[in-house]
């Protein structure tokens, strides 16, 4: 099982347990877990409504791809710990990470 923690818009934290090899993005898992994110563009790094801040475990994550980096650079409120959940695969790199939801509700 892959375990990571999500902090919602109210600051409440919940740890999710996801089976290995699930082949979903973090955005898809967040939507599937009933988090109120829009994910308007469906995972193409276009809308940034799945913007998350990585509070812990950021070093283990894969590097930003070009589309994700370019989109994050355009955002007014992104920081060096920002990622797009749609560009992160749910696999062992997420083990123990803590994500805070930032994208628009």
Distances (CA, A) of 98 to 51, 67, 92: 14, 23, 14
Of 12, 17, 59, 66, the one binding another protein (CB under 8 A) is 66
Is position 76 an interface residue for another protein (rule: CB under 8 A)? Answer: yes
Q: Judged by CB under 8 A, which stretch of 8-16, 19-27, 75-83, 93-101 contacts another protein?
A: 75-83
Residue 2 dihedral angles phi and psi, to the nearest 5°: -100, 125
Interface residue list for another protein (CB under 8 A): 38, 40-42, 44, 46-49, 64, 66, 69-80
């Amino acid at each position: 099982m892959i375990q990571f923690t999500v902090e919602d818009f109210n600051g409440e934290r919940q740890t999710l347990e996801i089976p290995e090899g699930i082949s979903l993005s973090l955005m898809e898992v967040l939507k599937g877990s009933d988090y109120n994110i829009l994910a308007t563009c469906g995972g193409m790094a276009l809308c940034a409504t799945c913007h998350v801040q990585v509070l812990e475990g950021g070093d283990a994550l894969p590097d930003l791809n070009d589309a994700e980096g370019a989109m994050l650079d355009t955002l007014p409120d992104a920081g060096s710990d920002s990622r797009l959940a749609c560009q992160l695969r749910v696999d062992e790199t997420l083990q123990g990470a803590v994500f805070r939801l930032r994208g628009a509700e």
